[in-house]
A = this chain, B = another copy of it.
Amino acid sequence: MSRIQTQQKILDAAESLFAETGFNDTSLRQITSRAEVNLAAVNYHFGSKKALIQAVLQRYLKVVMPRLEHQFEVLLARQKPTQLPEVLAVFVQPLLELEQIKRQGTTLFLQLLGRGYTDVQGHLRKFISHHYGSVLNKFVLLVQQSCPGLDAAEIFWRLHFSLGTVVFTMASSEALFDIAAADYHQQADIESVIRRLLPYLAAGIAAPVIYPEQLNSMAQAAS
């Protein structure tokens, strides 16, 4: 069998299992079994399990990240700062196009992203900020321009809150889809969730700051 066929089969089996079970809880024997490939093939073709994980993520990142970077550059080249909802909407198209590259591509990628951030703490964060730091910087700059009332630290926290929202929602998206279907008789897909996410995130990021005194008065009023 040709080299690329085996590698492809391993990557396909690995990404689906990683998305379902997480990185640490998926064994190489499960992967090679689903890929119908010998156990040793992973270490022969990729070197190690860690390298396989990176390869699985890179297959999507190398497609999504350049498109995001280009869109961010377009917005940054404008004369006036872009509105926050428009900045966030940049993510929609590139993410949904992953669906064309591969069936369930968007869901798989976002689930993998979620797993990567929650499974092995910090690894994925460092990997992305190291390889795609310029993309992140442009995004943060756009958000800062759209929210002149917020200082850099506040934006840092709110963007991480938003990352948590996305990552957690996608990591547990299957369970959420099931609950939504059972309790609210609505069949949810990845696009409808993205559609629901955007206004939530935009409102959260741009929320007015509440100062400590107000928090205390709120807590007292509730007791």
User: CB within 8 Å of B: which residues of A?
Assistant: 22, 24-25, 71, 74-75, 82, 85-87, 89-90, 92-93, 114, 117-119, 121-122, 125, 152-154, 156-158, 160-169, 171-172, 175-176, 179-180, 183-184, 186, 193, 195-210, 212, 215, 218-219, 221-223
Contact = CB atoms under 8 A, between A and B. Distances in A.
Chain A interface secondary structure, helix, strand, loop or mixed? Answer: helix
Nearest to A195: B215
Given A156-B183, A168-B168, A206 B204 contact: no
Contact of A175 (B71, B121, B162, B183): B121
B203 A90 contact: no
Contact of A93 (B119, B152, B184, B219): B219
Contacts of A152: 184
Contacts of A206: 203
Given A222-B86, A223-B71, A163 B168 contact: yes
Contact of A208 (B156, B186, B199): B199
A141 to B, nearest CB: 15
A117 B168 contact: yes
A222 B94 CA distance: 12
Contact of A207 (B167, B193, B204): B204
A212 B195 contact: yes
Nearest to A200: B204
Counting chain B CB atoms within 10 Å of each CB, the highest count among A82, A198, A200 belongs to A200
A19 to B, nearest CB: 11
12 contacts: A75-B222, A92-B219, A93-B223, A114-B118, A118-B118, A156-B183, A161-B196, A161-B197, A163-B168, A165-B168, A204-B204, A204-B207
A87 B127 CA distance: 39
Contact of A125 (B164, B175, B180, B184): B175
